[in-house]
Structure 1
Amino acid sequence: MVMGAAGSKLEKALGDQFPEGERYFGLENFGNTCYCNSVLQALYFCLPFREQLLEYYANYKTGGEAEDNLLTCLADLFTQISSQKKKTGVIAPKRFVQRVKKQNEIFRSYMHQDAHEFLNFLLNELVDILEKESNAAKTSPDTSSSSENIANGPSHPQANGVQKEPVSTWVHKCFQGILTNETRCLRCETVTARDETFFDLSLDIEQNSSITSCLKNFSSTETLNAEDKFFCDKCCSLQEAQKRMKIKKPPNILVIHLKRFKYIEHLSRHKKLSYRVVFPLELKLSNTIDNADCEYSLFAVVVHVGSGPNHGHYVSLVKSHNHWLFFDDENVEMIDESIIQTFFGSTQEYSSNTDHGYILFYERLGGRS
């Protein structure tokens, strides 16, 4: 399937500003699969993830025939895109979409699906497959270092009590961060800290706010009192306490999900919040424990188009080699960086513009940890 005039227009626009090997392909929609296409484009332009996936596939291909799964279908799709002769065009991710539907009945219907739910499902599924492969490689008698490296990459120490399994896959290395939940007893001042891992941060949003203020609210101190008192092990009783959530280890790729769909009790349904939330191109994390100067750069935005959660459309904005592109299923075009701010949201509750940033992808600057 060829894009024709649109394809040649994009090809002209790309000119010599992009490396020879880079590809910009639209993805065919199989009846409401825009939620999948928009996330796939964001992941394809997440370079550390794409590099690892292509490397995995190259190793997998040399390892003989094995059973198809979501990981091999995704790796096959990314390999197809990256090895196209032309710079632009359209690819049908049919095999991948079929696999998603086979794997998870939620995505089988033609109803509008949630892109964030899909991203979560996909990353967790990839991790499961890689962990199983790594464990199988460790227990097989002819374990070679190369087979372990396919799943594992270099060995990576785990934080105490964070994960039961010692396996750290390359998906973890790209997306996993560590949150610490601190509770301080107001009677004896003992601080109890509990770590938990995350692949993305879901942030509550308010009208006319910014990602920075949403993150501040996320890690603000909350007092536990009355019926919410905390059982302090040192005092051996329920006590008033202060609780806060902090980012202990920031991830290399920070994925932020804006909670735009809110359940309204008196309406008995979810409503989309069109609030204006400014997301900067460069983001500083000031609420981490050890590294207050952790900086990130925005490289992809999954946008929800529409006034409600049960219908609408998803598109994505992607940064590649310092230029921004707009992906809407089969259509791809270059856009000016200034257009990004039109996706912040609306200052009015009801607005004709329903294109709002929903999932943000930031890459950590200054090398990967």
Structure 2
Amino acid sequence: MGATGSKLEKALGDQFPEGERYFGLENFGNTCYCNSVLQALYFCVPFRDQLLEYYSRTKSSGEPEENLLTCLADLFSQINSQKKKTGVIAPKRFVQRVKKQNELFRSYMHQDAHEFLNFLLNELVETLEKEAKSGRTASGNLKPAEKKENGVANGTAADQDHPLTWVHKIFQGFLTNETRCLRCETITARDEKFLDLSLDIEQNSSITSCLRNFSSTETLNAEDKFFCDKCCSLQEAQKRMKIKTPPRILALHLKRFKYIEQLGRYKKLSYRVVFPLELKLCNTTDDAPGSESEYSLFAVVVHVGSGPNHGHYVSLVKSHSHWLFFDDENVEIIDETYVQTFFGSTQEYSNNTDHGYILFYECLDAKTT
């Protein structure tokens, strides 16, 4: 990595961002699923900033009790405080903690990067909620003003049992599930929280069409009729799901692994799905705050391989004005147009098995506020 690191520094030259660090992550035997997600999260600036703040607060009061959050904060701080601009970090303590807390990740088998992202964000939320509920963090008792400062609040979106954490503030959005009775026209709406959205994909499609399909109207009839409270009986109905509150960071998971009944197993869909560098949400409710917001792509977790049970993960990240390719220990600068090679294939069987799997978009409006 020394040669790779110096090559990267040479390639960036005077354009190397002030205070930024580009470090590869050591692989501990099929831990690429973890490394690729960690790189995407490290270059999610609001997430990194909050995590480093958390690290500073906890460290100033002595050694906190180890959990996944403290291990991740320690890892990010380790990268951020390196004297060198490039190199390799071994996230050993963090990986050990992941395996300790979740037996799913203990084997050396190929793991799913999306499952890992879900597990990680939910674990961080749980830890922060516990600290908020007990009215304290590792740095001591928190007054209401300090809670606000530390990104913990109680409001309409979160009750006393589930305080709103800084992870929520970054990743959480709200969906509204609307069901319209076709007999009396009454609309029943139910809100749901999400930290990421999983999208069905089709051949030669785009993220916009995937989002549109996600919110398409579905008719409930025959055995799937809806019980209408107003009619007091089962009725035919139409339902749809729309984004009510868009998140600051929009994480989109492309459902590339599909169970094929005839085969009796999961198969990877290599479909070509275009994901633009700039995205405008097409499936928000009419009254959604920031429904006109534009999002900018800053990270892509890529699955390399022809099937769901084997393969490799790499990540592409945008840092300042350039794109970087992270493959475990190796880091390279890439041209923006190279991102397009990960859209997928127009043919079912292709030599290109490198496909975008998880996309991370940041709201441009949130960036300027």
* Alignment partners' CA distance in 1, 2:147 and 2:81: 24
Correspondences of 1:332-351 after superposition (within 5 Å): 332-351=331-350
Q: Which one of the candidate residues 181, 184, 187 is aligned to 1:185?
A: 181
Q: Deviations over 1:130-156 (max 9, x none)?
A: 00011112699x833389538951636
Q: Deviations over 1:183-241 (max 9, x none)?
A: 01111111100011000000000000000000000000011111110000010000011
* Alignment partners' CA distance in 2, 1:310 and 1:53: 32
Q: Is the alpha carbon distance of 1:228 and 1:153 closer, same or farther for their aligned partners in structure 2, counting shifts above 3 Å?
A: same
* Alignment partners' CA distance in 2, 1:15 and 1:157: 47
CA displacement at 1:157 relative to structure 2? 2.6
Question: Normalised by the size of structure 1, how large is the TM-score?
Answer: 0.95
Correspondences of 1:160-179 after superposition (within 5 Å): 165-179=161-175
Structure 1, unmatched stretches of 5+, are none
CA displacement at 1:294 relative to structure 2? 1.9
Kept in 1: contact 2:33–2:313 (CA 8 A): yes
Paired residue for 2:260? 264
Q: Which one of the candidate residues 266, 279, 282 is aligned to 2:275?
A: 279
* Alignment partners' CA distance in 1, 2:125 and 2:149: 9
Kept in 2: contact 1:134–1:152 (CA 8 A): no
Aligned residues with identical type, % of pairs:
80
Paired residue for 1:51? 49
* Alignment partners' CA distance in 2, 1:50 and 1:248: 26
Q: How many residues align?
A: 364
Task: Classify the secondary structure of the residue corresponding to 2:341.
Answer: helix
Paired residue for 1:227? 223
Q: Is the alpha carbon distance of 1:158 and 1:13 closer, same or farther for their aligned partners in structure 2, counting shifts above 3 Å?
A: farther
Structure 2, unmatched stretches of 5+, are none
CA displacement at 1:18 relative to structure 2? 3.0
* Alignment partners' CA distance in 2, 1:239 and 1:114: 40
CA displacement at 1:163 relative to structure 2? 5.9
Task: Classify the secondary structure of the residue corresponding to 2:308.
Answer: coil
Paired residue for 1:104? 102
Paired residue for 2:2? 4
Q: Deviations over 1:155-198 (max 9, x none)?
A: 36333xx7673400000001000001000111111110001100
Paired residue for 1:87? 85
Kept in 1: contact 2:58–2:137 (CA 8 A): no
Task: Classify the secondary structure of the residue corresponding to 1:6.
Answer: helix
Q: Alpha carbon RMSD of aligned pairs, Å? A: 1.9
Q: Is the alpha carbon distance of 1:113 and 1:249 closer, same or farther for their aligned partners in structure 2, counting shifts above 3 Å?
A: same
Question: Normalised by the size of structure 2, how large is the TM-score?
Answer: 0.95
CA displacement at 1:13 relative to structure 2? 1.3
Paired residue for 1:39? 37
* Alignment partners' CA distance in 2, 1:40 and 1:355: 19
Kept in 2: contact 1:284–1:293 (CA 8 A): yes
CA displacement at 1:260 relative to structure 2? 0.1
* Alignment partners' CA distance in 2, 1:139 and 1:279: 39
* Alignment partners' CA distance in 1, 2:160 and 2:313: 36
Matched, 1:208 2:207: no
Correspondences of 1:116-127 after superposition (within 5 Å): 116-127=114-125
Kept in 2: contact 1:203–1:214 (CA 8 A): yes
* Alignment partners' CA distance in 1, 2:315 and 2:25: 12
Q: Which amino acid aligns with 1:62?
A: S
